[in-house]
Amino acid sequence: MVGIALAVNQIKDMFAVVMLAGIYGLVSASFFVAMDAVDVAFTEASVGAGISTLLMLTTVAMTGRTEHEASHKPLLALFVVTVTGGLLIYGTFDMPYFGSADAPVHNHVAPRYIYDSIKEIGVPNMVTSVLASYRGFDTFGEVTVIFTAGIGVLALLSVVRLPKTDAAVEAINNSMHEKHLVLRVVIKTMIPFILLYAFYVQFHGDYGPGGGFQAGVIFAAAIIMYALLFGLSAARRVITQPVVQLLSAIGVLVYGSVGIVSMLNGGSFLDYSVLSADPIAGQHLGILLIELGVGLTVASVMIIIFFSFSARSEYQQAKKGESL
C-alpha cells in the first residue's frame, strides 16, 4: 500500500493516478477483510474503490489529463511537515504499544462492549451496536459532515441550466440508443436488484455486515449507473433536484430528532433505552431510525455530488459544442 501511495504521488498522468487510487481502495478493503473487520471492508470497497474512483474520473474528464509541473520546490513546507510529524510521533512514545494486553482500551472499554453489548442492546452485530448506540454521537457527527460536504458541493458547483443546452444534450442521448443498446438492456434488468440489495444491506445491518453508510452508497451507485447510461436529464426526471436535496436534510433531521425525543422522554441525548417501555426494544427502535437517517443522507448526498459534477461537465461540453 505504501508503494501505491508513493506511485500516486509521483505519476503525472491523472487517469493512471485515479486507477491507482481505486486499486489502493481495493487493497485496503482486502487488508480489512484479512483483519476480520468485514463492515469496514464493505464500506471501504463501496466508497473508496467505487464512488471515489467514479467522482475522480468525472473531475479528470473536466480538468485535464496531466498534472502541470510544479513551479517551485516546496522545501519550507516539507521542513514544517517533517518537524510537526516528528513531534507527533515523539508524543506517541508514551502510549502503550499497539495491541498490548494492559492498555486501558483493552481493559475497560473493549470488554464492556464485547461482554455487555448483547445484554444491553440485544443486537447480534457488535459493530452496529458500537456505531449506532454506544458511539451514536460520533456517528451523528459523521452524518453531519457528509451533509455539509453535499451543501459545499451544491454551493460551489450549481449550474444554471439553460433550456437550449438541455434539449441539445437530450438529443445526443436519444441518438445514442443504438450504440449503447446492450449495456442499456442489461443495466435496466440489474437496477431493481441493486436497489433491493441496498435495502437488504440497510435493514440487515443488525445481523450481519451492513448498516446505513454502505446501503446509502449502494443505492446511490444504482442511480448513478442509470445516469451514466441514459443521460443526466433522464436521471434528473426520476430523481428531481429539490427532492434529493430535501431527502438529504431529512436524514440528518431524523437522526437529531431521535436524540431530541430521547431527551423529551427523560433520558439523555441519543439514549435509546427510554424510547419504549422495554429498554431493549427501545434500543432496536433507536438503531433502526438512525440507520434510516444515515442511509437517506448518504444516498442523497452521493447523488447530489455526482449530479453536480456531471452537470458541470455536460455544461462545459455543450458550451464547447456551441462555440465551435
Partner 1 sequence: MEFILSLLSGFFLLFGSFLCLSGGVGILRFPDFYTRMHAAGVTDTLAAAMILIGLMLQNPETLVIIKLMFILLMTLFISPAASHALGQAAVLNNLPPLVDLNIKDLDNSTASGDKPSKS
Please identify, using beta-carbon distances, which residue of 167 and 190 lies nearer to partner 1.
190
Minimum CB distance to partner 1 smaller for 59 or for 313: 313
Residue 199, classed as helix, strand or coil, is: helix
Nearer to partner 1, 59 or 257 (CB): 59
Minimum gap (Å) between residue 233 Cβ and partner 1: 11
285: which residues sit within 8 A by CB, 6+ positions away? Answer: 272, 275, 276
CA–CA distances in Å: residue 248 to residues 171, 210, 285: 31, 20, 21
Based on CB atoms, which residue is closest to partner 1, 110 or 186?
A: 186
| Residue nearer to partner 1 on the CB measure, 61 or 261 | 61
Annotate 128-159 with DSSP letters as a single string: HHIIIIITHHHHHHHHHHHHHHHHHHHHHH--
38 in Cβ contact with 30 (< 8 Å)? no
At residue 81, the 3 state secondary structure works out as: helix
Looking up cell 437550449 gives: 164
What are the φ/ψ torsions at residue 16 (nearest 5 degrees)?
-65, -35
Nearer to partner 1, 206 or 271 (CB): 206
As a whole number of Å, the end-to-end CA separation of the chain is: 45
What is the distance, to the nearest Å, from the Cα of residue 90 to the centroid of all Cα atoms in its chain?
33
Write down the least CB distance from residue 65 to partner 1, Å: 12
* Contacting residues toward partner 1, per CB under 8 A: 172-173, 176, 179-180, 182-183, 186-187, 189-190, 193, 228-231, 313-314, 317, 321
Asked if residues 293 and 255 have their Cβ atoms less than 8 Å apart, the reply is yes
Least spacing, CB of residue 42 vs partner 1, in Å: 15
* Nearest distance from C-beta of residue 182 to partner 1, angstroms: 5
What is the DSSP code (8-state) at residue 125?
Answer: -
The SS3 of residue 198 is helix
d(CA 223, CA 207): 26
Instruction: Please report how close the Cβ of residue 183 comes to partner 1 at its closest, in angstroms.
Output: 6
| Whole-angstrom distance, CA of residue 92 vs CA of residue 72 | 33
Q: How far is the CB of 53 from partner 1 (least distance, A)?
A: 14
Helix/strand/coil for 71: coil
Closer Cβ to partner 1, 73 or 320, answer by number = 320
Smallest gap from Cβ 180 to partner 1, in A, equals 6
Phi, psi values for residue 126, rounded to 5°: -70, -30
**Distance in Å, CB of 226 to partner 1, minimum:** 11
Q: Whole-number minimum distance, CB 201 to partner 1, in Å?
A: 13
Q: Which is nearer to partner 1, 135 or 204 (CB)?
A: 204
Do 121 and 283 meet the contact criterion of CB atoms below 8 Å apart? yes
Specify the residue, 135 or 184, whose C-beta has the smaller distance to partner 1.
Answer: 184
